[in-house]
């Protein structure tokens, strides 16, 4: 029996997702099966030629064969390969990280279902279906996002549901714009002289992506999600979900070349990106909750990607892809630290209430700081290479804009430093009340899981090695950028 690539990917991941939901109490099996499935997808898509069939028992799979359902087509094109490999690799890594952090969670089954939907969004050829798949994936993300934290003693610490609620609202608000854009583009194909259709489509598309990527003034969901969401699920959302949205944006720019050829394109992307960077930096600097800093650092990072795209150069596109590749490592590290510190504070992540936590959970604190430094783009970290490239690129046209971008990184660093001052405060200071103006949370005795410790060390080493040798990542990013030709046409 011959099976097309899209059906094979979506069918396998969907079936496994249901199986893992049934087996969810066996965390070891579920986490490793989910990771293996995601890894298999990454390997399969990256190594098997699209036009070459391969046998899997009774079925023959051809990855490049299109799937047609009621006249709607999904197909893996060469430009989709690296994005598919990227999101499945990130998912694989996050399933392994979550293995020791999220016992008996539905993160693994939901994660595979979300991966199937995001892959569908990348493979489907019509805007309207991609938008619907992204929406369904976002709604499924809410399930693991607000699972209460359960510690080894069985105590659970719940957060609010505000983040998930805001995410649901903003993603749904983006849906009409994307769907109506499809109608307008169909109308434009029938009446090519009516330029107002294109203008309306541009505005709607821009607004929808601004909502999906948390551009200012729609940024509140980023911080809300990171404040009360489960840290591994937050990382999944900020890397797999947002990564897919970025690739969809690039795919639209590629498909509808007139979008990037509009005069205002570069200026609009640069200004929106700079506003996001400055807002992210300023807001991160003034936060006293560790989770919020994660959200605002991601906002600044998204802004940096917009600025890089606004340059209308292939270098800018490559830089934005380097940032996208670096984000999972930085965010994974940061949220692994956040998870431990939140457990230590019984669900509370206010730095004032966690004063002195660094002495009890030094590795988690280190993970949070190193991840934060990397996301801020501080020298020698993983994020620095792409940020340095961005400053140079922006300064070619305006030094003032480059300084603004630099200020954003400084803002995120200030937020990190001011909170670290509290986490690192000595026990004697806490006893005399010199540090705290709020009562300190009575902390539990903390013993680090050796597996989590090994993951933290591996991620820290990985972050610095890739920071010192950024060509390892930039090579992949340049290969990805070659697939998009909208800046070179």
Partner 1 sequence: MSPFLHWLEQFSEFVSVPAAWGIFVAGAVIYLISEWRVRFLALVIQYLFVGLLFAGIFDTRPEMALMKIIVGWLIAAALLLSARIRLDTVRTEGRLLTWATNLPFRVLVLLTATAIGYLGSQRFSLPYVSADLGLACLLLVVLAVLFVGTEDEDPTIVGVGVLNLLTALEVFYTAQDPGLMVSGLLVVVSLLVGLATSYLTVAEEVPA
161 near partner 1, rule: CB under 8 A: yes
Shortest gap between Cβ of 235 and partner 1 (angstroms)?
A: 19
Q: Per CB under 8 A, does 70 bind partner 1?
A: yes
Contact between residue 134 and residue 276 where contact means Cβ atoms under 8 Å apart: no
Size of the site for partner 1 (CB under 8 A): 35
- Could you say which of 5, 83, 111, 159 contacts partner 1 (CB under 8 A)? 159
Handedness of CA 364, 365, 367, 368 (dihedral sign): positive
Q: Quick one: which segment of 33-41, 179-187, 372-380, 410-418 binds partner 1 (CB under 8 A)?
A: 179-187
Q: How far is the CB of 179 from partner 1 (least distance, A)?
A: 5
Strands (E), 40-161: 54-56, 59-62, 67-69, 72-74, 149-150, 156-157
Collapsing DSSP to helix, strand or coil, 193 comes out as: coil
Told to check if 180 binds partner 1 by CB under 8 A, we report yes
Contacts 24+ apart (CB under 8 A), 391-398: 393/308, 393/311, 393/313, 393/315, 393/316, 393/319, 394/270, 394/307, 394/311, 397/311
Cross-strand partners of 156: 150
**Dist. CA 107–CA 140, nearest whole Å:** 10
- Which of 37, 38, 128, 174 contacts partner 1 by CB under 8 A? 128
Shortest approach of partner 1 to residue 186 CB, angstroms? 9
Residue 158 in contact with partner 1, rule: CB under 8 A: yes
**Nearer residue to partner 1 within complex by CB, 48 or 143:** 143
Per CB under 8 A, 73 contacts partner 1: no
Find, among 389, 129, 394, the residue nearest to 251 by Cα: 129
Q: Does 165 bind partner 1 (CB under 8 A)?
A: yes
**Tokens 């940061």 — which residue?**
334
- Is residue 404 a contact point for partner 1 (CB under 8 A)? no
**Which residues, in sequence order, are CB contacts of 477 under 8 Å at separation 6+?**
318, 319, 321, 322, 324, 325
Residue 149 or residue 385: which is nearer to partner 1 going by CB?
149
Which 274-333 positions form the footprint of partner 1 (CB under 8 A)? none
Binding test (CB under 8 A) with partner 1, winner from 40, 48, 79, 173: 173
Which positions touch partner 1 (CB under 8 A)?
69-70, 72, 128-129, 132, 135-136, 139-140, 142-143, 146-148, 156-162, 164-165, 168-169, 172-173, 175-176, 179-180, 183, 347-348
């Amino acid at each position: 029996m011959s099976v097309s690539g899209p059906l094979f990917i979506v069918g396998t991941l969907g079936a496994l997702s249901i199986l893992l939901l049934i087996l969810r109490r066996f965390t070891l099996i579920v986490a490793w099966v989910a990771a293996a499935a995601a890894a298999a997808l990454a390997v399969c898509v990256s190594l098997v030629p699209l036009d070459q069939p391969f046998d899997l028992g009774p079925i023959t799979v051809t990855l490049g064969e299109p799937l047609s359902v009621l006249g709607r087509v999904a197909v893996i094109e060469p430009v989709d390969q690296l994005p598919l490999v990227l999101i499945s690799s990130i998912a694989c890594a996050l399933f392994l990280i979550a293995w020791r952090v999220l016992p008996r969670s539905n993160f693994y089954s939901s994660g595979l279902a979300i991966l199937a939907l995001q892959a569908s969004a990348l493979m489907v050829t019509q805007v309207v279906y991609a938008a619907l798949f992204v929406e369904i994936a976002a709604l499924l993300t809410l399930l693991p996002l607000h699972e209460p934290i359960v510690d080894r003693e069985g105590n659970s610490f719940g957060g609010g549901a505000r983040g998930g609620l805001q995410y649901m609202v903003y993603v749904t608000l983006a849906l009409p714009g994307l769907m109506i854009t499809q109608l307008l583009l169909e109308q434009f194909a029938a009446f090519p002289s009516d330029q107002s259709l294109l203008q309306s489509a541009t505005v709607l598309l821009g607004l929808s992506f601004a909502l999906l990527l948390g551009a200012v003034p729609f940024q509140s969901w980023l911080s809300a999600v990171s404040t009360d969401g489960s840290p591994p699920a937050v990382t999944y959302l900020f890397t797999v979900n947002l990564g897919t949205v970025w690739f969809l944006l690039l795919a639209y720019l590629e498909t509808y070349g007139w979008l990037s050829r509009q005069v205002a394109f570069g200026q609009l992307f640069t200004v929106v990106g700079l506003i996001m960077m400055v807002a992210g930096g300023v807001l991160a600097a003034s936060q006293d909750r560790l989770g919020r800093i994660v959200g605002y650092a991601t906002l600044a990072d998204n802004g940096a990607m917009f600025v890089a795209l606004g340059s209308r150069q292939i270098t800018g596109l490559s830089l934005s892809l380097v940032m996208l590749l670096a984000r999972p490592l930085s965010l994974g590290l940061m949220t692994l630290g956040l998870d431990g510190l939140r457990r230590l504070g019984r669900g509370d992540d206010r730095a004032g209430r966690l004063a002195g936590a660094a002495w009890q959970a030094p590795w988690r604190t280190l993970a949070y700081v190193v991840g934060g430094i990397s996301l801020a783009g501080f020298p020698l970290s993983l994020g620095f290479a792409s940020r340095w490239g961005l400053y140079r690129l922006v300064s070619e046209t305006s030094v003032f804009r480059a300084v603004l971008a630099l200020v954003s990184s400084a803002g995120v660093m200030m937020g990190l430093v001011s909170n670290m001052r509290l986490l690192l405060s000595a026990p004697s200071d806490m006893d005399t009340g010199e540090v705290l103006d709020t009562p300190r949370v009575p902390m539990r005795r903390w013993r680090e899981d050796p597996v989590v410790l090994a993951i933290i060390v591996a991620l820290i080493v990985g972050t610095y090695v890739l920071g010192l040798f950024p060509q390892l990542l930039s090579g992949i990013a340049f290969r990805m950028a070659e697939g998009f030709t909208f800046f070179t046409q």
